[in-house]
């Protein structure tokens, strides 16, 4: 059965609605960045760029780094944007846009997030890198999908008990990264740990300006959470949804984080752009070997 026009929206030129992309515009290896200005900070290292477009905050460039064809795409900020980006990317490779029917042979994309984050642990300093072994979803977006089979209830139950999680909030979800991609990016230059994904920047991440928090002790509870080999290393706004939707759709996903702030001791990087540039080169050097 064909997918209705209202469900899979295409532009007049046949491109997917928000990303303004056609299947031939993307590679099977895609780097996600949040900031649209960071796209060209990556592609400036490319040997050539064959395609470029932008619609709203979604900027895309595809080209070659050495002999590897790579797409770089800015997602904007937050779980809701990841929902748009991953569903539309999947449609490009796994739905026939002319017949509007899912393909019988599915394509798996390699998705690598290169982003910034704040550390929750004293021993993970600013200007370091964190590879997310898991995404801890505390924003609730993934509950709109059938997530049975991709979560880790044992860890989730321990986290709920430790934090005395409010039953009126969405149940936290813990999702694994791609072990296939992890082996290409792990090294003694990166820390590993569970990355918390919030649905906002201020209250959801424990920041107070003028509004009081529902649970002002939540950040310290996150800092102190330990279960077997699991602890929460950093906090941001995309990783868990990238991991969750990638698992559900059959894609490989990994999140790399440049630590530009340390929430535990109040430090902030003196040169965050330099740290991000180093992470970009680190990622590119390893992508060519996938």
DSSP labels, 198-236: -S-SSGGGT--SSSPPS-TTHHHHHHH-EETTEEEEEEE
| pLDDT score of 142 | 97
The pLDDT, as a whole number, for residue 263 is 81
**pLDDT, tens digit, for every residue of 69-85?**
999 999 999 999 999 99
- Structural contact between residues 111 and 253, judged by C-beta atoms closer than 8 angstroms: yes
* β-bridge mates for residue 192, sequence order: 131
For the chain, how many residues are written?
290
> pLDDT of the chain along its 290 residues, tens only?
899 999 999 999 999 999 999 999 999 999 999 999 999 999 999 999 999 999 999 999 999 999 999 999 999 999 999 999 999 999 999 999 999 999 999 999 999 999 999 898 989 999 999 999 999 999 999 999 999 999 999 999 999 999 999 999 999 999 999 999 999 999 999 999 999 999 999 999 888 999 999 999 998 899 899 999 889 999 899 999 999 999 999 999 999 999 999 988 889 999 999 999 999 999 999 999 99
Kind and range of the H or E run holding 87: helix 79-94
Task: Compute the distance between CA of residue 226 and CA of residue 204 in angstroms, rounded to an integer.
Answer: 21
What's residue 67's pLDDT? 93
Query: Do 61 and 39 form a contact (C-beta atoms < 8 A)?
Result: yes
Residue 119 in contact with residue 191, Cβ under 8 Å?
no
| pLDDT, tens only, 186-207 | 999 999 999 999 999 999 988 8
Instruction: Look at the pTM and tell me if it is higher than 0.75.
Output: yes
Residue 131 CA to residue 128 CA, distance in Å, equals 10
Q: Please answer whether residues 121 and 230 qualify as being in contact, where contact means their C-beta atoms are separated by less than 8 angstroms.
A: no
Residue 287 has phi, psi (to 5 degrees) of: -60, -35
Q: What's the pLDDT at 153?
A: 96
pLDDT of residue 115: 93
**Cβ neighbour number for residue 182 with a 10 Å cutoff:** 16
Distance CA 89, CA 246 (A): 11
Contact 11, 20 (CB under 8 A): yes
CA atoms within 13 Å, Cβ hemisphere of 168: 2
């Amino acid at each position: 059965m064909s997918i209705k026009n209202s469900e899979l929206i295409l532009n007049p030129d046949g491109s997917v609605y928000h990303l303004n992309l056609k299947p031939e515009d993307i590679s099977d290896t895609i780097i996600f960045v949040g900031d649209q200005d960071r796209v060209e900070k990556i592609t400036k290292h490319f040997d050539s760029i064959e395609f470029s477009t932008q619609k709203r905050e979604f900027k895309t460039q595809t080209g070659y780094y050495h002999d590897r064809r790579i797409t770089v795409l800015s997602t904007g900020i937050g779980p809701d944007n990841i929902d748009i980006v991953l569903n539309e990317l999947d449609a490009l490779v796994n739905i026939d846009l002319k017949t509007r029917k899912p393909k019988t042979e599915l394509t798996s994309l390699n998705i690598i997030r290169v982003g910034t984050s704040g550390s929750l642990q004293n021993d993970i300093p600013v200007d370091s890198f964190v590879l997310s072994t898991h995404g801890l979803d505390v924003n609730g977006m993934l509950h709109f999908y059938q997530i049975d089979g991709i979560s880790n209830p044992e860890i989730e139950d321990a986290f709920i008990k430790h934090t005395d999680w409010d039953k009126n909030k969405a149940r936290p979800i813990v999702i694994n990264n791609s072990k296939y991609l992890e082996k290409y990016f792990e090294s003694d230059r990166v820390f590993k740990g569970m990355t918390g994904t919030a649905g906002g920047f201020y209250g959801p991440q424990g920041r107070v300006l003028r509004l009081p928090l529902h649970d002002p002790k939540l950040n310290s509870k996150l800092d102190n959470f330990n279960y077997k080999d699991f602890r929460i290393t950093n906090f941001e706004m995309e990783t868990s949804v990238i991991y969750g939707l990638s698992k559900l759709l059959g894609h490989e996903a990994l999140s790399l984080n440049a630590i530009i702030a340390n929430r535990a001791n109040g430090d902030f990087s003196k040169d965050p752009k330099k740290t991000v540039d180093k992470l970009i080169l680190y990622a590119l050097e390893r992508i060519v070997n996938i």
